[in-house]
Chains A and B, each alone.
Chain A
Amino acid sequence: MAIYDEDNNRLTIKLVYYGPAMSGKTTNLMRLHDELNTDLKGEIMMMETTNDRTLFFDLLPLGFTTSSGLLIKFKVYTVPGQVVHDSTRKAVLSRSDGVVFVADSQTSQSINNGQAFENLEANAGRVGLDFDHLPLVIQYNKRDLADIISETEVKERWQQAPWPVTFSNALTGLWVIETLKALLKQVYDELNTEFKFSEQHNLTQQEFITQLIGANNIH
């Protein structure tokens, strides 16, 4: 639920990286911080415990101003993956406009992935998000590891689902930006009607994506 602030002519869009513990959500965010080439890029705010586990969330603020003068601000969050932090996950997920579900590709993590996805669906319901219309990308991370579930198997598993599936290695940055692009496409379509991007701000879907990730990142 993007928030439009009339005083400052600012639209704030909230994106959330969700997924099981240690699947690479924070790494995704760090990579975005390093690689995105956008007008406005804030400091990445990390709240982690001593052993690199996210305690509350990580936050990367990003933004650009449209030719019409509208500031579109993106707040990109990660949630803590550990099961015990469910209330925090719920609070962070609340009012989000799009979600990247970061799954761990290792075969040993299948159950955790499944449980985390069920948790996402349940929490979306609890915070009042319409899961059927929520922009969502499934990202299978850690493709560099040895004992991982094959792409064929992943594709088969998600065949019936409406969401795009990406395969990434957040450590090297492989397909991290592509994942965000896949999400931004859906977010644009979902918000365009309400906020009249194309009509009033002369902002196409392509422009929306390019502005955020930088022209040099568009292939």
Chain B
Amino acid sequence: MSIEQGLSFDHEFTLQELLTGVNVDKLLQALTHNLESSVRILNVKKQCLFEAQLNATESTGTVNKTALYGELEPIGFIEACATPDSLQSAAQLIQLILYSNSRYLMASDIHIKTQRDDFEELQRRHAALEISETKYKQLAESLDVRVKQQIKTIESAQLKLYESEKLASVGRLAAGVAHEINNPLTPIEMMVSNLSRVYLNADPKSFKENLNETTSVVSEEVYKLKEMVSHFSQFAKLPEPVLKEANIAEYCERFITQHQNGWPVVKFRVLTENDVKNINVKIDHLLINQCLINIINNAVQANPTKDTLQISMSLKCENSAEISMVLFNDGVKIDNKTQKHIFKMHYSSKKSAENMGLGLAIVKKILLDHNGDIICLPLDKGAAFKINLPISERLND
């Protein structure tokens, strides 16, 4: 096809091109037979393309030539010993063949051309798609890198925050401890100084009275100091939990039976849903007892004026991995700010010597050691703590 040589589908066809695919031998045979003469087909430059000799007796006479027309103009000639009229009709016959063949050639050339163009267009689009795909991949990779960098930044910021939080907490603890130590020291100092003044006055009777009084005050203050030290050692020496499998519902019931007389103002209530009856957890009984006692102590201390404090304990299974125990009391509400800091060491809303702000910090530490956790629930009335513990086993009914 001419299109293979880079020619347009509508280029000017030569006679030779237009005879492509035509059985020229048969054509010439028919022509020689009909014209009763040898026949030559010439191109536009009058060079012979095809030739056929008449086998039988060659007719003698003038050789005539007539043009073969393409679209408009001659593209070749036919030459034979024949009358102009018969040559003309032979030419018309050949032109019919040429016309039909040009139709076919143009159609096939334009077909190839459009197929090629379409294919090239497809390739172009494909290449464009590949480029955009590469771009997206690069983008995704760079995003990944950036996300990892961000995570690193956040992690290091968190570490810093944790460190500074720890320092702040140590600072608060130190300030609290200094204050608590200072409190008993003042009466001790006053009493002792008073005693030496009385001794100088040399009144044996009043000195003795003073001595007794001083002894009693000093002992009491020293006792407070000892108590405080014992609280601290308790926190410092908090043992690793020794975990034992326990049915959580049974554990709660037993706890209440054992401790319901521990606080005169407290009235207990247990709300346990059926589906939690067969759930086992791994706990250290003594440490979890300690947690519950601390939480109840906290509630009682926060409500010194209440005659009766309702405390309800409910068990719920919110997901398959954990059991939740909610301790609710109908006392004062815990404000938002306190909710955030309530588990921090030496954070206390109460200004009394007996409270070191360690109770709930101990609770938090024990539960974290159990792979559990505790949060303070935001409520409009009363206060509630939710303890989560991992379920170790769920017994079938």
Q: Which residues of A contact B (CB under 8 A)?
A: 5, 8, 10, 12, 14, 40-43, 45, 47, 55-57, 59, 61-63, 71, 73, 75, 77, 87-88, 90-92, 94-95
Contacts and interface: CB of A to CB of B under 8 A. Distances in A.
B12 interface: yes
B113 interface: yes
Contacts of B114: 87-88, 90-91
A94 B72 CA distance: 22
Contact of A47 (B72, B107, B115): B107
A71 B73 contact: yes
Interface in B165-194: none
B110 interface: yes
Contacts of A47: 103, 106-107
Contacts of B9: 91
Interface string B1-20: 00000001110100000000
Nearest to A64: B72
A63 B12 CA distance: 14
A94 to B, nearest CB: 7
Interface string B96-116: 000100110011001101110
Contact of A90 (B8, B102, B111, B117): B117
A59 B10 contact: yes
A91 B73 contact: no
A40 B10 contact: no
B103 A45 contact: yes
Mostly, the B contact residues are helix
B386 to A, nearest CB: 67
A49 to B, nearest CB: 12
Interface string B105-133: 01100110111011000000000000000
Contacts of A12: 12
Contact of B110 (A8, A56, A73): A56
A62 B71 CA distance: 8
18 contacts: A10-B73, A14-B10, A40-B72, A41-B72, A42-B71, A43-B99, A45-B99, A45-B102, A47-B103, A47-B106, A61-B71, A61-B72, A73-B72, A87-B117, A87-B118, A88-B114, A90-B114, A95-B8
Given A56-B107, A62-B72, A91-B110, 10 more contacts: A40-B72, A45-B103, A47-B107, A59-B10, A61-B71, A61-B72, A87-B118, A91-B9, A91-B114, A91-B117
Interface of B: 8-10, 12, 71-73, 99, 102-103, 106-107, 110-111, 113-115, 117-118
Contacts of A45: 99, 102-103, 106
Nearest to A43: B99
Contacts of A75: 10, 71
B107 A63 contact: no
Contacts of B10: 14, 59, 75, 77
A55 B104 CA distance: 13
B332 to A, nearest CB: 76
B117 A56 contact: no
Contacts of A14: 10
Contacts of A95: 8
B99 A56 contact: no
